[in-house]
Chain A
Amino acid sequence: MVQAERIEEYLRSRLPQATEIAVQNVQRLPGGASRETWSFDARWREGGADVSRPFVLRRDPDASLLETDRDMEFRVMEAVWSQGVPVPRMYWLEPDTAWLERPFFVMERVDGCEVSAQKLLYEPRFTAVHDRIARSFVDVLARIHALDWRSLGLECLTPPADSAACGTTEIERWEAVVDRDALEPQPVLRAAFRWLRRNLPPPAQKIVLVHADYRTGNFLFDESGEIKAFLDWEMAHLGDPLEDIAWACIRPWRWAGDERIGGLMSREEFYRMYAEGSGLAVHPEGVRFWEVLGNVKLAAIFLTGARSFCDGRTRSIMMALVGRNINRLELEVMELMGV
């Protein structure tokens, strides 16, 4: 439980000029499987004026789908926000467990928006803005990939050795997760790792900041059709831009049950708009490699959730659910491998 009084105490430490700090409406929000997400409103007086602000607090979980570096996520979001990429503004990163039992960070809450892919795709009030959101989805991705990560101080994300190493780096990352977390044999995933090593993509056209969870269901939008904020940067790293393209394409994120990417646009439209916006070519064979890897990666993430559930490190039934849903990812992997 996250208590309003504890947050008030924390805000007093962070806002020494503020008086009469009051925190209300503390509630846990669904989603954000790697960290707990809490929403709250805060009011205070500062410089003779009343200040009122909505916040989101993301606290480290007891166990999660992913074991990610909170400090890195904070730094990346802070950096991309400074460049005008739509993300919530980051306020404070708190490693001290004395405040809320576990480390956390606090960021802006973007109100008046939806995040649900189902709402976006099935509620009639959003139908008219699907094209606009699709355009915005591609534009934001091109902007992220155009960022100069060196000047933003993001070398700490450790770039791959060279542009040809992006694929191998990610294979090794996710194979290690399967090695660590698989509770039973995984013939399809093991075979897929071998297939991936035999079918490495062409060298990346450039090494970019990869969001690594860029998909429908991970952005805030409203009825105007504008993407207000992109969320869930915990897997961000440096790598091949096609990795983000392919992740957005994988079947689990198509949602609408057909071939439309993110439920929003055809694959051809997606590739064309991205190429126009980024100046980078989209090689279908490269995307195929990254799509196989994307499905394998999602399966590996699910294995981590399953292990934390079976080990008793979490009570989250979401972890049980995802652990039992690897079969359709296997099917997709085999389809993409052509076996």
Chain B
Amino acid sequence: MRPTSVEVLRGLQGVLASDIGREVQSLFGQDALQTGQMLLEMLANELDGAADSLFRDNEALVELLGRGAAAVRPLDAALAEETQAALAEETDTSLTLSALSARNSRLRGLLERLLVVCEDAAAGGKHAALMAVRADAYRHLRDVATRGWSFWDMLSFRERMAQLRAGGP
């Protein structure tokens, strides 16, 4: 369907930056407008790949937690059992963002507990299998954390806003 969701968000950014932006005089209003622009920038960058990203994350987490459950068993048998039970659960195959997010949250909750055990074990320099999972877990978390647009990417945002004010796409 055209305009696509991303095209609509970009259009909204354009009108906020030009027509509406010119009408807003107060410093507070301008600041709120800029914050809104940043949120739209973030959503526009996320939207198209959001479901795909969550789906792949969930697959990666299932693989990671599968290995993690085995590696953590000597240190925390209860967590190992719980993780294996969670991985064996029948999952919703829906690709809606809400279903994918719910699954993601469940898996990240298990990863959170696994990482805490890893960190407590890290000082001893033992448990090689668990340390390998720890390294892979951080690799995964780094990968997730680098995605998307963040308001720390101020330079790219400034360029886009200048473009929009000049009437660009």
Interface residues of A, Cβ cutoff 8 Å to B: 27-31, 118, 184-188, 190-191, 194-195, 198, 251-252, 255, 257, 317-318, 320-321, 324-325, 327-328, 330-331, 334, 339
Asked whether any CB of chain A lies closer than 8 Å to the CB of B31, the reply is yes
Contact of B31 among A30, A187, A334, A339 (CB under 8 A): A30
Is A317 a contact partner of B32 (Cβ separation < 8 A)?
yes
Quick one: given A321-B42, A328-B150, are A190 and B115 in contact (CB under 8 Å)? yes
Contacts of B31 in A (CB 8 A): 30-31
Is B27 a contact partner of A185 (Cβ separation < 8 A)?
no
**Distance between Cα atoms of A184 and B112 in the complex (Å):** 10
Asked whether any CB of chain A lies closer than 8 Å to the CB of B77, the reply is no
Contacts of A194 in B (CB 8 A): 116, 119-120
Interface positions, chain B 134-169, Cβ under 8 Å from A, are 134-135, 137-138, 141-142, 144-148, 150-152, 154-155
Query: Closest residue of chain A to B31, judged by CB?
Result: A30
Interface positions, chain B 34-55, Cβ under 8 Å from A, are 35-36, 38-39, 42
Q: Would you mind naming 11 contact pairs between A and B with Cβ atoms under 8 Å apart?
A: A27-B26, A30-B30, A185-B112, A191-B115, A251-B152, A252-B152, A317-B36, A321-B42, A324-B42, A327-B146, A339-B138
**Distance between Cα atoms of A184 and B104 in the complex (Å):** 10
Is A325 a contact partner of B152 (Cβ separation < 8 A)?
yes
Is A330 a contact partner of B105 (Cβ separation < 8 A)?
no
Asked whether any CB of chain A lies closer than 8 Å to the CB of B85, the reply is no
Query: Closest residue of chain A to B151, judged by CB?
Result: A325
Contacts of B30 in A (CB 8 A): 30
Interface residues of B, Cβ cutoff 8 Å to A: 26-28, 30-32, 35-36, 38-39, 42, 105, 108-109, 111-112, 115-116, 118-120, 122-123, 134-135, 137-138, 141-142, 144-148, 150-152, 154-155
* Smallest CB separation, B55 vs chain A (Å): 18
Contacts of A257 in B (CB 8 A): 154-155
Contacts of A252 in B (CB 8 A): 152
* Smallest CB separation, A51 vs chain B (Å): 26
Query: Closest residue of chain A to B150, judged by CB?
Result: A328
Query: Closest residue of chain B to A254, judged by CB?
Result: B152
Is B144 a contact partner of A327 (Cβ separation < 8 A)?
yes
Is B150 a contact partner of A29 (Cβ separation < 8 A)?
no
Is A185 a contact partner of B111 (Cβ separation < 8 A)?
yes
Contact of B35 among A29, A118, A317, A330 (CB under 8 A): A317
Known: A191-B119, A330-B141. 18 other contacts (CB 8 A): A28-B28, A31-B31, A185-B111, A194-B119, A252-B152, A255-B154, A257-B154, A317-B32, A317-B36, A320-B39, A327-B145, A327-B148, A330-B145, A331-B142, A331-B145, A334-B142, A334-B145, A339-B138
* Smallest CB separation, B120 vs chain A (Å): 6
Is B147 a contact partner of A198 (Cβ separation < 8 A)?
no
* Smallest CB separation, B101 vs chain A (Å): 9
Quick one: given A188-B141, A194-B119, A194-B120, are A321 and B27 in contact (CB under 8 Å)? no
Is B145 a contact partner of A186 (Cβ separation < 8 A)?
no
Contacts of B105 in A (CB 8 A): 184-185
Contacts of B26 in A (CB 8 A): 27-28
Contacts of A28 in B (CB 8 A): 26-28
* Smallest CB separation, A117 vs chain B (Å): 10
Is A317 a contact partner of B155 (Cβ separation < 8 A)?
no
Is B27 a contact partner of A27 (Cβ separation < 8 A)?
yes
Question: Top 8 nearest A-B pairs by Cβ distance?
Answer: A30-B31, A194-B119, A185-B108, A187-B112, A185-B109, A28-B28, A327-B145, A331-B145
* Smallest CB separation, B114 vs chain A (Å): 8
**Distance between Cα atoms of A327 and B145 in the complex (Å):** 5
Contacts of B145 in A (CB 8 A): 188, 327-328, 330-331, 334
Contacts of A331 in B (CB 8 A): 142, 145-146
Is B137 a contact partner of A328 (Cβ separation < 8 A)?
no
